[in-house]
A = this chain, B = another copy of it.
Amino acid sequence: MKEKLTSLEDALRLVRDDDVVGLQAGPTQCAPMELVRGLIRDGRQNLHVVTLSGGLALDWLAAAGCLSRCTFAAVTMEHYGLAQCFRQGVESGRISAEELSETALFARLGAAARGLPFLPTRGMIGTDLLQVGNPNLAVIADPFGGMPVVACRALPLDVALLHAARADRFGNVGIDAGPRYPTIGVMPRAAARVIVTVEEIVSTDVLRENPDRTILPGFAVDAVVLAPHGAHPTSMFPAYDYDADLFEQWVACSSDAAATREFLNSYVRVDPAGYRAAIGPDRLARLERAMTR
């Protein structure tokens, strides 16, 4: 098996300006934040990010000017409200928005993953998502005489970014018993390149103990990067909780340009060591303890 373990720097080189980037993320759940910070630090431009329901990562990318387009079912910070920088980017026209229903987003990714030109859904019928001239959606007849469906055009990704519990050096990625996070199944298969950050690197023998918890085979992964707390400040079940303090700190400043810049310089445009120092070991330990099983 081929070696896939590499440095953060080398992995980030797999993401290029103008790329279509698949981002695993929920409002507060398990986004590959160390990669997101890396893209911002490296000044990546003009990214088209595809996310099911990302929040903080999208807001940071928008704030840093990396984002030109976003395909999503939702961009939200849940109880922290709207993603203000993303929202301003869309309202000002700097970021173009392709909004899809969840089944449509999965259909677009699934079609790309399986080499199909489209997959259908019965979602969105009756909604205005079909009335905004989206060239990637087409209502077509059922050849068997049933109801029409919405064909959702394949959306191939240049690169997919994920975070998970563990991997071996060969790119086999394992998780713990828990829900598999949104799009972790389909995104890597829809992408030409796949980067996974993990909490720990283990031997393949460790994965062989629970081979049904290996969720990505090494042959589908291009780069594995060791990134303990790599999802912080989002949560990583069952390892650590999301960092409510940092979310609140961001929300408090994200409507103000100067405060946003300062936050980005303190917490985002810093290398992993600098980031962990800025957060502090006590806070990380507290987030781990929060998740009592």
A138 contacts the other chain (CB 8 A):
yes
Check if B118 sits within 8 Å of A143, measured CB to CB: yes
Check if A119 sits within 8 Å of B117, measured CB to CB: no
Partner of A116, one of B122, B153, B180: B122
Q: Which of A45-53, A72-80, A207-215 contacts B (4 or more CB under 8 A)?
A: A207-215
A120 contacts the other chain (CB 8 A):
yes
- Cβ proximity bits A149-160 to B, threshold 8 Å, 1 near / 0 not: 101011000000
Residue of B nearest to A180 (CB): B212
Q: Which of A133-179 contact B (CB under 8 A)?
A: 135-136, 138, 140, 142-144, 146-147, 149, 151, 153-154, 177-179
Q: Which of A173-195 contact B (CB under 8 A)?
A: 177-180
A166 to chain B, nearest CB (A): 15
Q: Which residues of B contact A177 (CB under 8 A)?
A: 210-213
Residue of B nearest to A141 (CB): B140
Give this chain's copy count: 2
Tally chain A residues at the interface, Cβ within 8 Å: 29
Check if A144 sits within 8 Å of B153, measured CB to CB: yes
Please measure, in the bound complex, the distance between the C-alpha atom of A180 and the C-alpha atom of B140, giving whole angstroms: 34
A256 to chain B, nearest CB (A): 43
User: A-side binding surface: helix, strand, loop or mixed?
Assistant: loop
Partner of A117, one of B116, B149, B180, B210: B149
A173 to chain B, nearest CB (A): 15
Partner of A212, one of B117, B154, B211, B213: B213
Check if B120 sits within 8 Å of A142, measured CB to CB: no
A115 contacts the other chain (CB 8 A):
yes
A121 contacts the other chain (CB 8 A):
yes
A206 to chain B, nearest CB (A): 13
Residue of B nearest to A148 (CB): B117
Residue of B nearest to A142 (CB): B117
Please measure, in the bound complex, the distance between the C-alpha atom of A117 and the C-alpha atom of B117, giving whole angstroms: 18
Residue of B nearest to A110 (CB): B119
Residue of B nearest to A144 (CB): B153
Check if A119 sits within 8 Å of B118, measured CB to CB: no
Check if B117 sits within 8 Å of A147, measured CB to CB: yes
Check if A144 sits within 8 Å of B138, measured CB to CB: yes
- Can you name 22 A-B pairs with beta carbons within 8 Å? A116-B122, A116-B149, A117-B144, A117-B147, A117-B149, A118-B120, A118-B142, A118-B143, A118-B144, A118-B149, A119-B119, A119-B120, A120-B120, A138-B143, A140-B143, A144-B151, A177-B211, A177-B213, A178-B211, A179-B212, A212-B212, A212-B213
